[in-house]
Amino acid sequence: MKLSTSTALKTTFAASLAFTALFSTITVLPNSHAYAAEAIVSAESAPKLPKVQVIATGGTIAGKSVDETSFQNYRAGTLLMEDMVKSLPNKDQIADVSSFQFGNAGSSSYTMQQLSSLSLKVDQALETQDGVVVTTGTDTMEEIAYFLDLTVRSAKPVVVTGSMRPWTVIGSDAQANLYNAIKLAASGKTKYYGTVVMLNDEIHAARDVTKTNATRVDTFQTPMTGMLGYIDEQNIRMYRANARALMSADKWATPFDLRTIKSSSMAKVEIAYSYQEAGAGAINGFVEDGAKGIVTAGTGTGGVSKAIGEARAKAIKEKGVIFVSTTRTGSGSNYSSGDGMIAGDSLNAAHARILLQLSLSFSKDFKTIQGWFDTYGSGQVNIPTK
Which residues have CB under 8 Å from 116's CB, separation 6+?
Answer: 151, 258, 263, 266
User: 19 and 47 in contact (C-beta within 8 Å)?
Assistant: yes
With CA atoms as reference, report the closest residue to 67 among 170, 154, 183, 144: 170
Q: Which stretch binds ligand ASP (CB under 6 A): 132-140, 196-204, 255-263, 355-363?
A: 132-140
What would the x/- binding string for ligand ASP be over residues 65 to 84, using CB under 6 A?
A: -----------x--------
Of 50, 162, 229, 298, the residue at the interface with ligand ASP (CB under 6 A) is 162
Residue 181 CA to residue 201 CA, distance in Å, equals 9
Q: Which stretch binds ligand ASP (CB under 6 A): 106-114, 181-189, 199-207, 335-343?
A: 106-114
**Residues touching ligand ASP: how many (CB under 6 A)?**
10
Residue 52 CA to residue 179 CA, distance in Å, equals 11
* Distance in Å, CB of 354 to ligand ASP, minimum: 16
With CA atoms as reference, report the closest residue to 88 among 178, 185, 163, 173: 178
- Count of Cβ atoms closer than 10 Å to residue 238 Cβ: 17
With CA atoms as reference, report the closest residue to 132 among 119, 150, 113: 119
Q: Is 60 in the site for ligand ASP (CB under 6 A)?
A: yes
Selecting among 12, 57, 60, 222, the annotated active-site residue is 60
Taking CB positions, which residue lies at the least distance from ligand ASP? 137
Of 12, 116, 129, 138, the residue at the interface with ligand ASP (CB under 6 A) is 138
What would the x/- binding string for ligand ASP be over residues 6 to 45, using CB under 6 A?
A: ----------------------------------------
Q: Is 194 in the site for ligand ASP (CB under 6 A)?
A: no
Q: Return the number of the residue (165 or 183) whose C-beta is nearest ligand ASP.
A: 165
Q: Is residue 25 annotated as part of the catalytic site, yes or no?
A: no
Of 79, 84, 97, 106, the residue at the interface with ligand ASP (CB under 6 A) is 106
Residue 151 in 3-state DSSP? helix
Phi, psi for 74 (deg, rounded to 5): -155, 165
Q: Is 139 in the site for ligand ASP (CB under 6 A)?
A: yes
User: 297 and 272 in contact (C-beta within 8 Å)?
Assistant: yes
Applying CB under 6 A, the residues found at the interface with ligand ASP are 59-60, 76, 106-108, 137-139, 162
Catalytic positions are: 60
